[in-house]
């Protein structure tokens, strides 16, 4: 039982939205967490949510009392990180006028990729969606140079070697071909760095345009580019129950 106002340090960190409870344990064990200016490096410590001052990597964090879940149609030309070393616009610029809570992108989309991005301050949900074990499918529409052959499509479906890992079996369908280019629908289950681009490149069909249209059952629908909305209750429940 938790005494009133006192919760475990890893829970406090997860409730701040910066990361999941499990990752918070790693932060504690690696000496990156301070309570009232003292490093705490053991698990099981409790903190008083109204009094204690918790810092991660020297930054003061406080717990979130209200979780928010947002879906954004990211345009090309925005980074998915919270800040950018080259001062490029970030996805947070697109929501800052309407959302006062500090939220974080769930996973990444490349600067030149558009489409569905979820943002939240719920660290445990972020962990759930991004952990490979949950195998959640991500659906992309890619316009590529060239027209994939049957052999190319089979490579996607069986899994292929990229960098030094094997992709898990993906689904791929040619939706349209026009003037030596193709429009493909590709579903993958992981989210390695530039994975779809690398897969397309490896069959000799470099990506011209890439858009994510779904994560699991959550679809972008007709949300216009650059716009966001709150996820509906049933969508949040779906993600929490993954």
Active site residues: 110
Q: Which region, left, alpha or beta, applies to residue 86 given φ > 0 means left and ψ of -120 to 50 means alpha? A: alpha
Tokens of residue 219, six digits = 């679809």
> Which residue number, 17 or 115, has a Cβ lying nearer to ligand URA?
115
Least Å distance between CB 191 and ligand URA?
A: 7
Tokens of residue 133, six digits = 């074990």
Q: What is the DSSP letter of 131?
A: -
Interface residues toward ligand URA, by CB under 6 A: 109-110, 113, 194-197, 210
> Which residue number, 121 or 195, has a Cβ lying nearer to ligand URA?
195
> Which residue number, 39 or 82, has a Cβ lying nearer to ligand URA?
82
Least Å distance between CB 99 and ligand URA?
A: 22
Least Å distance between CB 138 and ligand URA?
A: 7
Position of tokens 């195998």?
135
Position of tokens 């939220």?
103
Least Å distance between CB 30 and ligand URA?
A: 29
**What is the radius of gyration, based on Cα positions, of the chain?**
20
Q: What is the DSSP letter of 11?
A: H
> Which residue number, 35 or 186, has a Cβ lying nearer to ligand URA?
186
- 37-72 burial, b at 16+ Cβ within 10 Å, e below that, comes to eeebeeeeebbebeeeebebeeeebebbeebbbbbb
Whole-angstrom distance, CA of residue 134 vs CA of residue 129: 7
């Amino acid at each position: 039982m938790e005494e009133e106002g006192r919760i475990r340090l890893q829970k406090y960190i997860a409730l701040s939205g910066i990361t999941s409870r499990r990752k918070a344990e790693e932060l504690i064990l690696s000496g990156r967490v301070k309570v009232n200016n003292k490093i705490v490096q053991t698990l099981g410590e409790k903190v008083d949510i109204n009094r204690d001052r918790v810092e991660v990597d020297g930054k003061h964090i406080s717990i979130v009392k209200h979780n928010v879940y947002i879906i954004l149609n990211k345009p090309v030309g925005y980074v998915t990180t919270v800040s950018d070393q080259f001062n490029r616009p970030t996805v947070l610029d697109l929501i800052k006028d309407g959302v006062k809570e500090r939220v974080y992108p769930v996973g990444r989309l490349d600067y030149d990729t558009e489409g569905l991005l979820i943002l939240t301050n719920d660290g445990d949900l972020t962990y759930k969606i991004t952990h490979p074990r949950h195998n959640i499918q991500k659906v992309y529409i890619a316009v590529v140079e060239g027209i994939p052959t049957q052999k190319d499509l089979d490579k996607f479906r069986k899994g292929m070697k990229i960098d030094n890992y094997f992709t898990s079996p993906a689904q791929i369908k040619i939706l349209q071909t026009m003037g030596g280019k193709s429009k493909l629908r590709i579903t993958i289950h992981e989210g390695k760095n530039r994975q779809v681009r690398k897969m397309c490149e490896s069959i000799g069909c470099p990506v011209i345009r890439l858009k994510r249209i779904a994560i699991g059952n959550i679809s972008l629908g007709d949300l216009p580019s650059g716009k966001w909305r709150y996820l509906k209750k049933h969508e949040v429940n779906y993600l929490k129950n993954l």
